[in-house]
Structure 1
């Protein structure tokens, strides 16, 4: 693979947000000529090398599809607990579908390392203050979906299934851009490892909480972790709170401000492994969002805003063998990882999040 260097940035849409993370006009890839496509793909890979993240604007996902997904997500989480638990996350970690109530899942990324005196059990004692609903392809029999009874929320299943496949189609364009930017020669090289049926759509809700609960580390929204998919498509509301580790100052985190209708894409551990760590899987977390004052009884308290986000985890078929891609290995940079199937890797990582 070529040496790490800075490529010229494609045209960036004007925005009020000044972000350290690159913002790329993806329409230059989907609608541009060969030169524009090459420029965008190299700029994306350059961003993934340095930050592990990139904003894509002017992408092909319709604005109304994103708005509808957030609307349906809020309607779901507004349901009473007795309704949401009629689509429960199955026991254990092998099937990751359905509704997880606050505290059920604990994102504990042991791959990042823990203090010698902190065990996995102790790490789990600081709960995640979030609830989620996981959705996959109905054809994926290894990860069967768990849906609400239709009468509880008419249209929910059809709407979210449609959004799932909209994102699956968009993911193919990301795969083409990655293949070109990495230097695989054939832009369809990575397509053979994907069917779209093994991705995961996640609806996330972070309820309002008193700020001092998070400040005193009695709970977290999501602790520092890396995604373990190939890459993630992320849509945020306007609340804020997402932070990523600085590429130049380990241990320091920088804010990732929401940009309306932008798709934030980040590399996961599977793709980092596949690329021999040339593409960066960056530790990230959800911390305190902007605070708003609320009066409760006669005492003024700082209460965080509720936050909604929708990540879409893109991964290969379970039997795909993940071994370092040819442009990412040479005499000076030998393969760091042994080959592993996606199924083996996925089970290993999922076991860290659920008892």
Structure 2
């Protein structure tokens, strides 16, 4: 099996007749079944807007540390907003209640060399946004708020395609679970770093992990470095080349649980960029390129109960997972990422 994420023109779903929409939906689901990922071109987010998002992202991370820290990520893991400095967060597959504190301590011993900024809905009062002062970066808050809701509209169309593709009678089945208010827009910066730190395992960009919402939209710059676990060779990863005009979409844990693993939540990581782009020269010191990416994590309302859907369970295929609320599952994962 070739390890290459399928590319699908999503405009054929958005603008197609019912028969075409069904064909595209099934193609998307097949990609999710095999790889857990699909690359969507023809999506409704203009390239100029994506480029603008990267421009603002770079402007933010170029600010001095003391300025970025005017919007600090609060202590703990329950309020996931604002700026996280390098080393604050550690992404992994660990789950509270399953993995031990010693596993967490060992995992955090190899830090993620990245910084991030988290943005949510302005109407999610339990997790209010933490913005840097308006006069520091005028226009940043306005742009990112609009971008957040444009991605919410995009994700609602993907949810319709999922419902059709897995054989549910109503393409709006998931609508009641996804209000858009509980998603998370993340701006990510992987700073230049001495290549030997990554090569010798003293640090990583992001360790192998699965996302723990429903699904994720991802835009990445031209640096490269994203790697996805092979569907037929567990433990081996293949590189995903950046595509400026595409949005990568991947299934996360909650959607995998909903479908009784009919849809695949796949481990992925960020490693060294491709060899030809691997180093820049700085007085003889080998340094990796900086990398920027923008994931948008789509999830349900906190009280939503995620339980295996009937089309995927029968006597021969019993439910693999007990029902769980989004809130409880999210806590079990996020509590292991922030100390």
> What is the alpha-carbon distance in structure 2 between the residues aligned to residue 76 and residue 216 of structure 1?
30
Q: After TM superposition, give the deviation of residue 301 of structure 1 in Å.
A: 2.5
Of residues 184, 187, 194, the one that matches 2:178 is: 194
Of residues 7, 13, 21, the one that matches 1:37 is: 21
Give per-residue Cα distances to partners, 1:59-83, cap 9 Å, x unaligned: 1111111011100000000000111
Q: How many residues align?
A: 335
Of residues 81, 93, 100, the one that matches 1:109 is: 93
Aligned CA distance change for structure 1 residues 117 and 192 (closer, same or farther; 3 Å)? closer
Map residues 51-200 of structure 1 onto 2, 5 A cutoff: 51-111=35-95, 119-200=103-184
> What is the alpha-carbon distance in structure 1 between the residues aligned to residue 241 and residue 202 of structure 2?
25
> What is the alpha-carbon distance in structure 2 between the residues aligned to residue 265 and residue 131 of structure 1?
22
Q: After TM superposition, give the deviation of residue 108 of structure 1 in Å.
A: 2.4
In structure 2, the partner of 1:274 is 258
> What is the alpha-carbon distance in structure 2 between the residues aligned to residue 116 and residue 50 of structure 1?
31
Helix, strand or coil at the partner of 1:264: strand
* Corresponding position: 1:203 with 2:190: no
In structure 1, the partner of 2:269 is 285
Taking structure 2 as the reference length, the TM-score comes to: 0.96
In structure 1, stretches of 5+ residues that fail to align are: 1-17
Runs of 4+ in 1 over 4 A off after TM superposition: 114-118
In structure 2, the partner of 1:301 is 285
> What is the alpha-carbon distance in structure 2 between the residues aligned to residue 326 and residue 103 of structure 1?
42
Between 218-227 and 101-110, the greater mean CA deviation after superposition: 101-110
Give per-residue Cα distances to partners, 1:317-343, cap 9 Å, x unaligned: 111111111211122111111111111
* Corresponding position: 1:260 with 2:244: yes
> What is the alpha-carbon distance in structure 2 between the residues aligned to residue 202 and residue 104 of structure 1?
15
In structure 1, the partner of 2:199 is 215
Q: 1:295·1:301 contact (CA, 8 Å) conserved in 2?
A: yes
> What is the alpha-carbon distance in structure 2 between the residues aligned to residue 340 and residue 107 of structure 1?
22
* Corresponding position: 1:347 with 2:334: no
Q: After TM superposition, give the deviation of residue 120 of structure 1 in Å.
A: 1.2
Between 41-50 and 328-337, the greater mean CA deviation after superposition: 328-337
Q: 1:211·1:304 contact (CA, 8 Å) conserved in 2?
A: yes
